[in-house]
Amino acid sequence: MATTVKKKATGSVQRGKEQTGFALLEVVISMAILVIGLVSLLGVFGIAMASTQDTQQNMIAKQLANEALESIITARNTSQNQWVDIQNVVDGGIFLAGFQPVNKPGPDGIMGTADDAGYQTITEPGPDGIYGTTDDIQLPMSNYQRKIEIQPVLDANGNIVATLRAVNVTVQYYTPQMSRAKTYVLTSFVSQFR
């Protein structure tokens, strides 16, 4: 350590320590720590953005499953369909089996049937950020597939309950972050009685 020599007015010599600043190595180390912290913070923002996108797609999948269940209830409630029609096509009903594109309902007004055509779309606000204006964006639901399974319900003795059916609606979709499909499953029952 360097020392300085100060003279007092009386002529005696006093020795004190010289003040020193940060060394270049200390500055480099502190900057490296700061950069690591900032890069970690940016990573957290990236994860939050991906999670927000995934949450939005999951919400859309839930809504598509609810729409399918409502479509089944609508088919039961309309006079154009009988209770025997509330089944999958393979069992003599009107609802398609297996994964199908999420299409707009056809002339019968019921989703998941053979007369459906054209992807459903979701409307997002355009550059002005306001819904219902001319710059709104229509996004097709081509990233989603829906499967409606309608099965008979068995009682405790293994007999079919004629007035009740189990409904499983599965919505499958892909996210940019995942290489495999994510699914949302809605399980419910529908009765013959309104």
What are the sequence ranges of the domains in the chain?
A: 24-114+143-191
Residue with tokens 């006093």, as numbered in its chain: 14
- Spacing of C-alpha 192 from chain mean position: 33
CA dist., res. 169 & res. 103, Å (int): 15
pLDDT tens column, 15-31: 666 767 678 888 899 99
pLDDT tens column, 38-90: 998 888 887 777 777 778 888 999 999 999 999 999 889 887 889 999 999 99
Beta bridge partners of 88: 95
Residues 6+ apart with CB under 8 A from 24: none
pTM of the model: 0.70
Q: What is the pLDDT of residue 167?
A: 96
Neighbours of 63 (CB within 10 A): 13
Of the listed ranges 25-34, 97-106, 121-130, 171-180, the least confidently predicted one is 171-180
HEC string of the chain?
CCEEEEECCCCCEEEEECCCCCCHHHHHHHHHHHHHHHHHHHHHHHHHHHHHHHHHHHHHHHHHHHHHHHHHHHHHHCCCCCHHHCCEHHHCCCECCCCEECEECCCCCCCCECCCEEECEEEECCCCCCCCCCCCEEEECCCEEEEEEEEEEECCCCCEEEEEEEEEEEEEECCCCCCCCEEEEEEEEEECCC
pLDDT tens column, 128-146: 988 889 899 998 888 899 9
User: What is the average pLDDT value for the chain, to the nearest integer?
Assistant: 86
pLDDT mean over 157-171: 94
